[in-house]
């Protein structure tokens, strides 16, 4: 089994939102041009990510073992608001083998659990100290998380 850091299968995603119907489009094409995506007869808004702030800080929890594990993502030092007027609408985890999208529900917690398997699971490390090249595991580095707050827009985190 391979425990080295794999290459990404697809390029980092670009996110587009229709401001009329709220349709989300995720573009993972390799040869992007200055394309324009349309929905509802209008140009979709290209969401540009911001850097994290205290309200949109992420707490990560890794659970599991070598062949299967999960990554929990919680938004905010204290719980991010999850009211109908102000909430986390979705989270996207970009992994080596692709990506996962989780939609959030107002009234519930601002937490999502992403399952990791195959090559994504093999980059698990539960040691207190990194042993570098002598270690048979690599850390969960290289993943990215995007979080969309309906009031403050898109936030990007590199793990």
What pLDDT shows up at residue 1?
40
30 has pLDDT over 90: no
pLDDT tens for 90-119 read: 999 999 899 999 999 999 999 999 998 877
What pLDDT shows up at residue 49?
92
Read off the pTM: 0.84
Average pLDDT over residues 60-79: 77
pLDDT tens for 116-155 read: 887 787 665 656 666 666 655 556 667 899 999 999 999 9
What pLDDT shows up at residue 130?
64
Average pLDDT over residues 72-91: 90
Written in H, E and C, the secondary structure of the chain is CCCCCCCCCCCCCEEEECCCCCCEEEECCCCCCCCCCEECCEECEEECCECCCHHHCEEEEEEECCCCEEEEEEECCCCCCCCCCCCEEEEEEEECCEEEEEECCCCCCCEEEEEECHHHHCCCCCCCCCCHHHCCCCCCCCCEEEEEECCCEEEEEEC
């Amino acid at each position: 089994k391979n425990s080295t850091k794999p290459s990404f299968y697809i390029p980092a995603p670009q996110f587009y939102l229709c401001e009329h119907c709220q349709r989300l489009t995720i573009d993972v094409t390799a040869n992007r041009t200055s394309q324009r995506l349309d929905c509802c007869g209008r140009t979709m808004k290209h969401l540009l990510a911001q850097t994290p702030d205290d309200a949109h800080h992420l707490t990560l929890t890794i659970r599991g073992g070598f062949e299967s594990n999960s990554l929990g993502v919680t938004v905010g030092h204290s719980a991010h608001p999850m009211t109908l007027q102000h909430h986390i609408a979705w989270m996207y985890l970009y992994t080596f083998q692709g990506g996962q999208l989780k939609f959030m529900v107002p009234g519930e917690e601002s937490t999502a659990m992403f399952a990791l398997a195959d090559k994504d699971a093999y980059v698990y490390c539960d040691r207190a100290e990194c042993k570098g090249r002598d270690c048979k595991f690599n850390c969960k580095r290289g993943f990215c998380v995007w979080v969309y707050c309906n009031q403050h827009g898109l936030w990007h985190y590199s793990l």
